[in-house]
């Protein structure tokens, strides 16, 4: 089945926000970096089988949240569970065992620059399985075909455009057939065509492969078109959650400001600063 | 003593204490890092292709620099030795002088310093850039330990390459000394080689140089991968880590050289 033919029917039953079958649960999470509180009492449930979007303005700690969910960082307080297991208490061995069930698409792709496209996608298979090279070749070409880059197998990462690199990274993320994929800002820096392809790929792969997808982004329109459930973060907490339509209809000022992209609102556009005229007229100018 | 002086002295004492704490902190972290490398060695040893690639990158790609440097150091050594020894009519011994100087001291030390500047910086910046571009985090997320897959092969590659490079440096140095002494300055060729053969001992001289270069290889490779792995993941951070790697390696090699020389001579 080709996943690169990106148009197609959506599943009849979509996993909505509420539900008891959660693959990831975050409870009362607190995390500070230095004196700055990033999260304070964060609660999020990620429903198995759905596409969950985590949105928020820049600097709200969306990427940090992914690092906490995947055990790359430890919270100061609270719990993160993956399929019932407490991530914050896992040993390194247990973390690695969990990560074998997880795929992650980094913002910049994080392809290994000394390996070709083919070797990048084959990398997890060679590290974790004893499959023959013939079988690895079959799997790698299948995954590359799914993202439309089978013809680019011999290229090096430096020869790829941003969108292509993101798609190769996606092929690598699904090569071990994970249960859940985390996407860290998958739409940043993509041209409209690449963005459309990646948006639809996320949804199609989720449905075709029976995955759970978590998309961290601030691109409202793109993610709203594919998400089943959306969480909006601000000031270390979830300020709104629900289906994308629920957020569009939300009356909270913070939500309205974010969804409509307004400069004025509870989330300040300007970083805290002294009076503008006073600073301009002061002697030091600083 | 005025209050300002007391405040100044207190600040100085605090600075020294902070520096010492930083030094011992880094020293301890370096030892733990070495321990992690040793623990994870079986993984890399089971994948010799990874190590061979790094021997190529750190060793073979440094060959031109090492050979050129060795050649000219040998020539200068012969020139200087000839100038001094000819005053005593002992210019026939320049082969021995050059060979002893090269295999005992200059070969291992200069090779280690050149290694720090060429292969060490490449190792630090490569690993640092992998850190800055999330490649190491990506590996962690693929349940692959970067220490095993990235650090250990590079460390072992450097440790293996260093003694070989030092031997090649010394060989090229001896060739340079022969060219300068015998061909250009007219020292008797038979005396040049026979003096060297008679006075340079394989165990005491050649092996002591090889032992030194093994230690230098461990130190230089460890510092290079340590700085790269622990760098701040920004362009500036990678640059700083690379510079720190070269400076620390150079100083460590010089201090270590004194300690090893004292130890090896003490055994005679």
Chain B residue numbers touching A102 (CB-CB < 8 A):
141
Q: Give the model's confidence band at A131: pLDDT under 50 very low, under 70 low, under 90 confident, else very high.
A: very high
For residue B125, what are the domain limits?
48-265
Q: Say whether both B1 and B134 belong to one domain.
A: no
Q: Give the model's confidence band at A272: pLDDT under 50 very low, under 70 low, under 90 confident, else very high.
A: confident
Q: What is the reported pLDDT for A267?
A: 72
Best mutation site among A109, A110, A129, A170 for testing chain B: the one with the most B CBs within 10 Å? A110
Share of chain B above pLDDT 90, in %: 72
Q: Say whether both B83 and B19 belong to one domain.
A: no
Q: Which of B130, B137, B143 sits opposite A96 (nearest CB)?
A: B143
Q: What's the mean pLDDT when you consider all of chain B?
A: 91
Q: Say whether both B25 and B63 belong to one domain.
A: no
Residue B51 has pLDDT above 50, yes or no: yes
Do the Cβ atoms of B133 and A100 come within 8 Å? no
Q: Say whether both B54 and B172 belong to one domain.
A: yes
Do the Cβ atoms of A127 and B138 come within 8 Å? no
Q: Check if B132 contacts A (Cβ < 8 Å).
A: no
Q: Say whether both B29 and B62 belong to one domain.
A: no
Select the more confidently predicted residue: B183 or A223. Answer: B183
Chain A residue numbers touching B140 (CB-CB < 8 A):
72, 99
Q: What's the mean pLDDT when you consider all of chain A?
A: 84
Q: Dihedral through CA A39, CA A45, CA A49, CA A55, nearest 10?
A: -40
Do the Cβ atoms of B138 and A128 come within 8 Å? no
Q: Using CA atoms, how far apart are residues A206 and A6, in angstroms rounded to an integer?
A: 12
Q: Say whether both B130 and B242 belong to one domain.
A: yes
ipTM greater than 0.85: no
Chain B residue numbers touching A96 (CB-CB < 8 A):
143, 145
Chain B residue numbers touching A127 (CB-CB < 8 A):
142-144, 149
Q: Say whether both B52 and B107 belong to one domain.
A: yes
B82 and B185 in contact (C-beta within 8 Å)? yes
Average pLDDT over residues B84-110: 90
Predicted TM-score (pTM) of this structure:
0.83
Q: What is the 3-state secondary structure (H, E, C) of A20-76?
A: CCEEEEEEEEEEEECCEEEEEEEEEEEECCCEEEEECCCCCCHHHHHHHHCCCCCCC
Q: Give the model's confidence band at A13: pLDDT under 50 very low, under 70 low, under 90 confident, else very high.
A: very low
Q: What is the pLDDT of residues B174-202, one digit of tens each?
A: 999 999 999 999 999 999 999 899 988 88
B39's tokens: 């623990």
Q: Using CA atoms, how far apart are residues A148 and B56, in angstroms rounded to an integer?
A: 35
Q: Give the model's confidence band at A2: pLDDT under 50 very low, under 70 low, under 90 confident, else very high.
A: very low
Q: Say whether both B143 and B212 belong to one domain.
A: yes
Q: What is the reported pLDDT for A17?
A: 66
Q: Say whether both B24 and B79 belong to one domain.
A: no
Q: Say whether both B31 and B100 belong to one domain.
A: no
Q: What residue of A is the nearest CA neighbor of B44? A: A127
Q: Say whether both B128 and B182 belong to one domain.
A: yes
Identify the CA nearest to B70 among candidates B118, B103, B116.
B103
Chain B residue numbers touching A111 (CB-CB < 8 A):
135, 138
Q: Check if B135 contacts A (Cβ < 8 Å).
A: yes
| B147/chain A closest Cα distance in angstroms | 13
| B111/chain A closest Cα distance in angstroms | 27
Q: Dihedral through CA A199, CA A205, CA A210, CA A212, nearest 10?
A: -40
B11's tokens: 């600040």
Q: Using CA atoms, how far apart are residues A17 and B95, in angstroms rounded to an integer?
A: 83
Q: Say whether both B26 and B108 belong to one domain.
A: no
Q: Check if A128 contacts B (Cβ < 8 Å).
A: yes
Number of domains chain B contains: 2
Residue A53 has pLDDT above 60, yes or no: yes
Q: What residue of B is the nearest CA neighbor of A94? A: B143
Q: Check if B61 contacts A (Cβ < 8 Å).
A: no
Q: Residue A132 — φ and ψ, nearest 5°?
A: -70, 155
* Count of CB atoms situated within 10 Å of the CB of A70: 22
Residue A243, exposed/middle/buried by CB under 10 A (0-12, 13-18, 19+)?
A: middle
A115 and B53 in contact (C-beta within 8 Å)? no
Q: What is the reported pLDDT for A221?
A: 82
B43 and B152 in contact (C-beta within 8 Å)? yes
Do the Cβ atoms of B142 and A97 come within 8 Å? no
Q: What is the reported pLDDT for B155?
A: 95
Q: Using CA atoms, how far apart are residues B212 and B163, in angstroms rounded to an integer?
A: 8
């Amino acid at each position: 089945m080709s996943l690169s033919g990106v148009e197609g029917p959506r599943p009849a039953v979509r996993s909505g926000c509420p539900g008891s079958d959660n693959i990831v649960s975050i409870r009362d999470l607190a995390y500070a970096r230095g004196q700055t509180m990033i999260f304070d009492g964060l609660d999020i449930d990620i429903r198995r089988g759905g596409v969950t979007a985590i949105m928020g303005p820049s600097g709200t700690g969306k990427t940090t949240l992914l690092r906490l969910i995947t055990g790359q960082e430890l919270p100061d307080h609270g719990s993160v569970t993956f399929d019932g297991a407490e991530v914050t208490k896992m040993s390194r061995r247990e973390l690695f065992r969990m990560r074998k069930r997880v795929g992650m698409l980094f913002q910049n792709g994080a392809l290994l620059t000394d390996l070709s496209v083919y070797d990048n996608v084959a990398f997890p298979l060679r590290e974790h399985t004893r499959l023959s090279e013939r079988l690895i070749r079959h799997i790698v070409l299948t995954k590359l075909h799914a993202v439309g880059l089978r013809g680019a197998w011999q290229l090096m990462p430096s020869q790829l455009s941003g969108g292509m690199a993101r798609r190769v990274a996606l092929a690598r993320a699904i090569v071990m057939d994970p249960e859940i994929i985390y996407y860290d800002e998958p739409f940043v820096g993509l041209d409209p065509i690449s963005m459309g392809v990646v948006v639809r790929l996320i949804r199609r792969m989720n449905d075709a492969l029976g995955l759970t997808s978590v998309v961290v982004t601030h691109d409202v329109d793109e993610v709203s078109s594919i998400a089943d459930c959306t969480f909006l973060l601000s000031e270390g907490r979830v300020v709104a959650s629900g289906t994308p339509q629920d957020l569009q209809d939300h009356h909270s000022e913070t939500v309205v400001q974010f969804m409509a992209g307004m400069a004025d609102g509870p989330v300040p556009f300007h970083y805290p600063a002294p009076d503008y005229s006073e600073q301009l007229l002061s002697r030091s100018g600083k | 003593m005025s209050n300002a002086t007391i405040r100044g002295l207190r600040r100085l004492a605090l600075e020294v204490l902070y520096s010492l704490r930083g030094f011992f902190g880094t020293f301890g972290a370096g030892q733990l890092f070495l321990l992690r490398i040793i623990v994870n060695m079986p993984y890399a040893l089971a994948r010799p292709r990874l190590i061979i690639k790094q021997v190529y990158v750190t060793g073979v790609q440094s060959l031109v620099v090492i050979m050129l440097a060795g050649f000219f150091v040998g020539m200068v050594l012969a020139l200087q030795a000839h100038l001094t020894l000819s005053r005593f009519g002992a210019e026939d011994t320049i082969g021995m002088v050059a060979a002893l100087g090269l295999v005992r001291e200059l070969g291992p030390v200069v090779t280690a310093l050149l290694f720090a500047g060429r292969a060490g910086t490449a190792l630090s910046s490569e690993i640092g850039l992998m850190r800055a571009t999330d490649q190491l985090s990506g590996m962690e997320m693929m349940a692959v330990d970067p220490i095993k897959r990235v650090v250990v092969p590079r460390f072992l590659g450097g440790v293996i390459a260093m003694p070989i490079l030092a031997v090649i440096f010394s060989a090229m140095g001896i060739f340079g000394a022969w060219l300068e002494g015998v061909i250009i300055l007219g020292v008797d060729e038979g005396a040049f080689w026979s003096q060297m053969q008679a006075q340079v001992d394989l165990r005491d001289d050649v092996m002591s140089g090889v032992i030194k270069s093994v230690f230098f290889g461990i130190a230089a490779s460890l510092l290079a991968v340590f700085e790269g792995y622990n760098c701040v993941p920004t362009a500036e951070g990678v640059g700083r880590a690379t510079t720190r790697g070269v400076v620390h390696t150079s100083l460590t090699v010089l201090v270590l050289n004194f300690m090893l020389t004292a130890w090896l001579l003490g055994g005679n």
